[in-house]
Amino acid sequence: MTDAGAPGATGTQGHGNLPPLSLHVPEPKFRPGDTVDYSHIKVPPAGAQPRPDESCAASETHPLCLDLVRVLDDENRAVGPWNPKLDAETLRRMLRMMALTRAFDDRMYRGQRQGKTSFYMKCTGEEATSIAPAMALAHDDMVFPSYRQQGILITRGYPLVEMINQIYSNRADKLKGRQLPIMYSAPEHAFFTISGNLATQYPQAVGWAMASAIKGDTRIAATWIGEGSTAEGDFHSAMTFAAVYNAPVIFNVVNNQWAISSFSGFAGAERTTFAARAIGYGIAGLRVDGNDPLAVYAATQWAANRARANAGPTLIEHFTYRAEGHSTSDDPTQYRSAQEREEWPLGDPVTRLLRHLIALGEWSEEQHAAMDRELVDLVKAATREAEKNGVLGHGLHHPFHTMFEDVFEELPWHLREQSEQAIRERRIKWPEWSDESWRENGR
C-alpha cells in the first residue's frame, strides 16, 4: 500500500482550490487519413526579409529567426536583398547536383529493396539544404554532416562509385565494410565521418573550428543536424562552446518536421522556432525557406562571411519537409497523412529551381528531361561499376583480418589473438579457408 503523503507517492489531492495541473503531450495536426490544411504555416513573401550586415550583433538577427528568408517568388524570380545573384552556369550546376542526388537516392532505395544492401536513407525534398551550402562554402571548409547530407558529397565531386561501394559494403568499400550504409567518411573531401549517434558532430564541428582559429587558419566548419536531434545535450554544449570562443562555425538545423515518427513538436517546435534558440546563446540566427536553394545559398554565404571575419557563429534553420520515409526501415503512412507531402506550402526545391532557370530563359523542360535521363544513366553506370566489387551478403568483402585493424593504430596482443581465434573458428566450417581463397571465391 502506498502512503499518499509519502515522497514519491501518487495522489490526486491538491492544495485548496488550485486547479489540477495537466500535462501537455504534443500531437501533430494530421494523422493518417486526415485532410491536410497548412494554413497555420505563415509563408511570407519572397524578398521581404532584410539582410543585415554580416558583422551585426547576434541580437539584430532575432526578427529573422522568427521570419523566413525567401528569394524565389511565386513567379519564379529571384528577388530581394538575399538574392545571391548567381550566374546561370552556377544555377544550372546547382540544379544538376540536386537532380543527381535525387536520381542517386531513387536508385539506392531500389537497390535496398532488391537486397543489394541492408539499409538506405533518402533526402528527397531536402536536397537544397545540403547542395546549396556545399556550393556556398569553400571546398576545404570542413563539414560535419548528419546522415541526410549526401548532397554535399555529390556536390564536392566524391565519386558515385565510392558512395555505392560503401553502401554495398563490398571489397572496394573505403570503410572496409565496417560502417552501416550511408555513414560515409571522406577526409580528402573535407567530409567528416558520419556517426550513428545523433548530434555528436555538433561539438566536434565547434572543436574543429576552434582548432582552425587556434592555428590562425582561414578555414571554417559547418555542421548539420535534424530538428529532432536539437533536443540532445550535445546541441546545447556546441552552442555554448561556439558562443564562448566565438568559433568560426555554421550550425545548420534541417527542420524537416519529422524525427522518424515524432513531429517537430517533440523537439519544442510548438513554442518557438529552432533558429530562435541561437539568440539565447548570443549566436546569430537565420530561418530560411529550406526548399528555396537560393535562400539557402545566400544564408550560408552570409554565415560563412561572418565566420571568416571572426564575427562569430551562425545557426541556420532550414524550414523544409521530409518527403519520404525516415529510412528504408520506416513506413510513414503509419503515423502521418499521405497528403502532407502534396500540400507542403514551400513546394519542391528541384522544381522551384528548374522553374527559376526556365523563367530566366536559361533552361527548358526538354533540357531538363534530357538531363534527368542522362543522370539516371550515370547512376546506373556507377551502380554497375560498384557491383563488380560485390553487393552485401554475396561475398567479395574486405579481407577477413581487416575487421581487427584500426581499432588502435597498432594491433595489440589481445586483438591479434582474437584475429587468430576468428580464423580457427572459420576453419571449423571451411577447413581449407584462408583470407586469399576467401577473397577470390567469396568465403
Partner 1 sequence: MSEPMIEEAPVSLSEAPTRRLNMIEAINDALDLMMERDPDVVVMGEDVGYFGGVFRATAGLQKKYGKTRVFDTPISECGIIGVAVGMGAYGLRPVPEIQFADYIYPGLDQLVSEAARLRYRSAGGFIAPLTVRSPFGGGIFGGQTHSQSPEALFTHVAGIKTVVPSTPHDAKGLLIAAIEDNDPVIFFEPKRIYNGPFNGYYDKPVEPWSRHPDSAVPEGYYSIPLGKARIVRPGEAVTVLAYGTMVHVAEAVLREKGVDAEIIDLRTLVPLDIDTIEQSVRKTGKCLIVHEATRTSGFGAELSALVQERCFYHLEAPIERVTGFDTPYPHSLEWAYFPGPVRTHRLRNLRGQRRGDRYSPDHRSPRPENHHYPPAHPLCARPGIMLAGSA
- Catalytic one of 102, 171, 326, 398: 326
Q: Does 10 bind partner 1 (CB under 8 A)?
A: no
**Angle, nearest 10°, between helix axes 128-136 and 88-113?**
140
- Catalytic one of 70, 322, 352, 397: 322
**All residues at 6 or more sequence positions from 398 whose CB lies less than 8 Å from its CB, including other chains:** 171, 173, 176, 177
Question: Do 122 and 104 touch, CB atoms closer than 8 A?
Answer: no
**All residues at 6 or more sequence positions from 385 whose CB lies less than 8 Å from its CB, including other chains:** 161, 164
Q: Does 297 bind partner 1 (CB under 8 A)?
A: no
In angstroms, what is the minimal distance from the CB of 374 to partner 1?
31
Place of cell 513538436: 265
Nearest residue to 285 (alpha-carbon basis) of 310, 268, 302, 297: 302
Q: Which of 179, 230, 256, 264 binds partner 1 (CB under 8 A)?
A: 179
Specify whether 318 is catalytic: no
Question: H helices of 114-158, where?
Answer: 128-136, 150-155
Q: Does 22 bind partner 1 (CB under 8 A)?
A: no
Give the nearer residue to partner 1 in terms of CB position, either 109 or 404. 404
Q: Does 248 bind partner 1 (CB under 8 A)?
A: no
Give the nearer residue to partner 1 in terms of CB position, either 71 or 304. 304
Q: Does 195 bind partner 1 (CB under 8 A)?
A: yes
In angstroms, what is the minimal distance from the CB of 178 to partner 1?
6
Q: Is 318 helix (H, G, I), strand (E, B) or coil?
A: strand
CA distance 143 to 52: 25
CA distance 364 to 101: 20
Q: Which three cell numbers stand for residue 403?
A: 575487421
Q: Does 231 bind partner 1 (CB under 8 A)?
A: no
Q: Does 308 bind partner 1 (CB under 8 A)?
A: no
- CA 163 to chain CA mean position, Å: 16
Give the nearer residue to partner 1 in terms of CB position, either 238 or 353. 238
Q: Does 228 bind partner 1 (CB under 8 A)?
A: no
Place of cell 524525427: 259
Give the nearer residue to partner 1 in terms of CB position, either 93 or 178. 178
Q: Which of 62, 92, 93, 174 binds partner 1 (CB under 8 A)?
A: 174
Q: Does 200 bind partner 1 (CB under 8 A)?
A: yes
Give the nearer residue to partner 1 in terms of CB position, either 93 or 174. 174
CA distance 165 to 206: 30
Q: Does 241 bind partner 1 (CB under 8 A)?
A: yes
CA distance 10 to 352: 55
Q: Contacts with partner 1: how many residues (CB under 8 A)?
A: 48
Specify whether 335 is catalytic: yes
In angstroms, what is the minimal distance from the CB of 101 to partner 1?
22
Neighbours of 422 (CB within 10 A): 14
In angstroms, what is the minimal distance from the CB of 402 to partner 1?
8
> In degrees rounded to 5, what are phi and psi of residue 285?
-130, 145
**Residues making up the chain, counted from first to last:** 443
Cα 96 to Cα 16, 102, 263: the distances in Å are 67, 10, 31
Q: Does 202 bind partner 1 (CB under 8 A)?
A: yes
Within 204-223, the residues that bind partner 1 by CB under 8 A are: 204-215, 221
Sign for the pseudo-dihedral over CA of 420, 424, 426, 432: positive
Within 105-144, the residues that bind partner 1 by CB under 8 A are: 142, 144
Q: Does 425 bind partner 1 (CB under 8 A)?
A: no
- CA 327 to chain CA mean position, Å: 13
Within 358-417, the residues that bind partner 1 by CB under 8 A are: 406-410, 412-414
Place of cell 582548432: 211
Q: Does 237 bind partner 1 (CB under 8 A)?
A: yes
Give the DSSP H or E segment for 289: strand 284-289
Q: Does 186 bind partner 1 (CB under 8 A)?
A: yes
Specify whether 416 is catalytic: no
Q: Does 157 bind partner 1 (CB under 8 A)?
A: no
The contact set with partner 1 (CB under 8 A) reads 142, 144, 174-176, 178-179, 183, 185-187, 192-193, 195-197, 200, 202-215, 221, 233-234, 236-238, 240-241, 244, 406-410, 412-414
Report the catalytic residues. 322, 326, 335
